[in-house]
Chain A
């Protein structure tokens, strides 16, 4: 409260009354405190950015404000009046609209039908399509995009940017006073972002309070007047944009020491020949990818959400193959067009989303571990309970190696904890005796103890000469594990940094500030 009073005195706007205020909001989920006593004020005609690392509680806060979650404690005030929402529709009716990260449109319906879904105009019980189309044009005019988007075109025929504009049009058509945008630019190109910036300027002038959540600091600094930093569910600080630099904000976001032990990095003598090299490779998403991965090395890949991190892994592994460029494995040119080709070339891929890509949760642990083995060598196409003779001891051996905690390998995998499930995925790839490993978010959502175990195992692999490409959104993990760091931005590799680079250095490259001379100066100023 004291903090927000200070904000009021420093803010030189006509409006002193906040349009919306949250006081002492807390929310816990089983095992985590998602929000801890957060208080914020949102003024009319102001863009208020909320930043923080993944899991800082940004989305939870926004879902509470929009009525999708109910807080465990705390209050929401709208124009000075206390409100509470049982359902998102109630929040919408009171003038709070949210644009979620993932699109919430019906692709096979027209623009007008999407805008007015659930509140269609009707005449004598029949739909007044003409009126809906006319009103849709009005809504689009409000945004100045009526020339780009026709009310009668199908949403599926619109570009991603146009769909984003339509989402905004739909949101403000509820007579919104508060507009929440959760990562609105994640799917947009830079020119499309400019369009969005102009639009937000327009909405600001109408006196709306805009809450802007983004990972891209550059845009936060382009758009917002005020920046609030959340970390681990707590409000760290609210700052006025003109008083701070991007590196100040980055420091607030990540300013902490590594809170977890990592195994020692590789020594120069550990690094062998080039195991995997990629030259000028591109496909529908990635542009001009160049890098080399050596034996015995952990190459970290950092980047913001949507920067192409996961797509890089998928391209290397043949899920979404490269269309041009060269890929060499142990000095031999190969074309990985399918995952099964990648497995035959002894590549392993531990996926980001273990539930949908890494495991078959209803199958026993045993079958999951043997999945890759069976896909490359089954005896005459037959499947045996323990695999073929040569691999009969494989399951217990690997199970012990990765330390799966279970009473039986015949237990369904879905009943294991997240950390143990991840170990099953690891065991599966160890079974394939791969020598080039791609890890995509190897420790997302698992407990600290399993995390340390997995980190030790990854380092153990490289000690045996395996090459590891590790993608992670957690900067401490990237810094703690990587012998070199590739930073991705905008579907390209934006830069390479040496081991033990700081989080600020990585974030500056990832947010597109490294090319900006001012930002670099700011960065060094911030470190002093």
Chain B
């Protein structure tokens, strides 16, 4: 018993004195455990091969970009279940409009960002003006988008020009372009939250909407803005995916489980589902944890269904450990 309490207080003291959110410790532990397992039961590439590390991050790019948007809406005490089909509609529409021609790229991008803006605006308006709970509002919008895509496209449609694949496969020096873009999105998310009025107001709306309103914050606008930005990140993720796949398919969003996975990474990252607390760097750690787990399971050849079970268990345990910890701190 004494050793447990001693280590506990040491752990608490260290984390509190240097302000490391628990998710980063969790990230390091995941990496070390995964590496060791890989060392003993597989070829040990996780520790020895930097390329595999890079691969872990590249696999996480689409999820990472959406998760930034999801972080914003969840901080505002909302949620967005429509990101998966927003990704799908982006993927099919952009490759459909591009038809393999570089000249069509600007039109295609303009079109998909416009679609994203409309989806985000609809989500925001339904939530703030019609007072529908965010869960139902975005689920409804998601079903509408799904219906539209499925009625129009059934499989791979159109293609992207060779030049456009730069997003998915290009490198600057030895670093993939996609990683740089993802980091830029995270940086933008951090800037928005920490360094703009919009961010300060979003924390207010999520923390206590009434307090924010009485302080003169236009709460509806802030939340609509967050939803538009969230849909835009989904569009960006869709563009990245289509540039990797070379052609858009309607199932790319739902198959990647981008809706639930983005929510899970945000929560693992320490952002409160009730809003008002958290940030994008925790989400980045959550995304990397997912990437490391995926890669490790692949390295070890874990059965795909068992993979899901393990991933589910890890999510639940991680989040439970935070709440237990924060309860202890409160007591």
Contact = CB atoms under 8 A, between A and B. Distances in A.
Interface of A: 88-89, 92, 104-109, 113, 117-120, 122, 125-127, 129
Contact of A129 (B191, B195, B272): B195
B173 interface: no
A493 B195 CA distance: 51
B196 interface: yes
B111 interface: no
Given A108-B207, A109-B203, A117-B204, A126 B215 contact: no
A129 B196 CA distance: 9
Contacts of B272: 108
Nearest to A113: B200
Contacts of A125: 196-197
Given A89-B214, A117-B212, A118-B212, 6 more contacts: A106-B204, A108-B272, A108-B276, A125-B197, A126-B195, A127-B197
B211 interface: yes
B216 A108 contact: no
A129 B191 CA distance: 12
Contacts of A105: 211
Contact of A106 (B194, B195, B208): B208
Contacts of B276: 106, 108-109
B227 interface: no
Task: Enumerate the 8 nearest inter-chain pairs by beta-carbon distance, A residue then B residue, closest first.
Answer: A118-B215, A118-B216, A106-B207, A108-B277, A89-B216, A117-B215, A118-B217, A104-B211
Contacts of A127: 194-197, 199-200
A407 to B, nearest CB: 33
Given A92-B216, A108-B276, A113-B203, A122 B211 contact: no
B211 A106 contact: yes
Contacts of B216: 89, 92, 118-119
B204 A118 contact: yes
Interface in B259-276: 272, 276
A117 B199 CA distance: 11
Contacts of B196: 122, 125-127
B19 to A, nearest CB: 10
Contacts of B215: 89, 117-119
Contacts of A122: 196-197
Nearest to B272: A108
Interface of B: 191, 194-197, 199-201, 203-204, 207-208, 210-212, 214-217, 272, 276-277
A122 B200 CA distance: 11
B331 to A, nearest CB: 9
Given A89-B216, A118-B217, A109 B197 contact: no
Nearest to B194: A127
Nearest to A119: B216
Contacts of A117: 200-201, 204, 211-212, 215, 217
25 contacts: A88-B214, A89-B215, A89-B216, A104-B208, A105-B211, A106-B204, A106-B207, A108-B207, A108-B276, A109-B203, A109-B207, A113-B203, A117-B204, A117-B211, A117-B215, A118-B212, A119-B215, A119-B216, A120-B197, A120-B200, A122-B197, A125-B197, A126-B191, A127-B195, A127-B196
Contacts of A109: 200, 203-204, 207, 276
B3 to A, nearest CB: 26
A278 to B, nearest CB: 24
Most chain A CB atoms below 10 A, which of B210, B215, B277: B215
Nearest to A93: B216
B27 to A, nearest CB: 22
B307 to A, nearest CB: 34
A104 B211 CA distance: 6
Contacts of A104: 208, 210-211, 214
Nearest to B211: A104
B74 to A, nearest CB: 13
A88 B216 CA distance: 8
A92 B195 CA distance: 26
Contacts of B208: 104, 106
A113 B195 CA distance: 11
Contacts of B210: 104
A109 B203 CA distance: 8
A88 B197 CA distance: 21
Contacts of B191: 126
Contacts of B277: 108
A359 B50 CA distance: 60
B110 to A, nearest CB: 24
Contacts of B200: 109, 113, 117, 120, 127
Nearest to B204: A117
Nearest to A155: B207
A151 to B, nearest CB: 14
Most chain B CB atoms below 10 A, which of A89, A118, A119: A118
A92 to B, nearest CB: 7
A119 B217 CA distance: 8
A375 B194 CA distance: 49
Nearest to B208: A106
Contacts of B195: 126-127, 129
Contacts of A108: 203, 207, 272, 276-277
B5 to A, nearest CB: 19
Most chain B CB atoms below 10 A, which of A105, A107, A109, A127: A127
A117 B215 CA distance: 6
Contacts of B204: 106, 109, 117-118
Contacts of B207: 106-109
A105 B191 CA distance: 23
A107 B212 CA distance: 13
A129 B195 CA distance: 8
A108 B204 CA distance: 9
A120 B201 CA distance: 9
A127 B204 CA distance: 15
Contacts of B217: 117-118
A103 to B, nearest CB: 9
Nearest to A106: B207
A108 B211 CA distance: 13
A78 B201 CA distance: 30
A125 B191 CA distance: 11
A228 to B, nearest CB: 26
A89 B276 CA distance: 22
A119 B214 CA distance: 12
A136 to B, nearest CB: 13
B119 to A, nearest CB: 26
Contacts of B214: 88-89, 104
Given A92-B216, A104-B211, A104-B214, A118 B201 contact: yes
A89 B218 CA distance: 11
Contacts of A119: 215-216
A92 B210 CA distance: 15
Nearest to A132: B200
Contacts of A113: 200, 203
A498 to B, nearest CB: 40
A449 to B, nearest CB: 35
A139 to B, nearest CB: 15
A105 B207 CA distance: 9
A319 to B, nearest CB: 16
Nearest to B215: A118
B203 A106 contact: yes
A113 B207 CA distance: 12
A109 B275 CA distance: 12
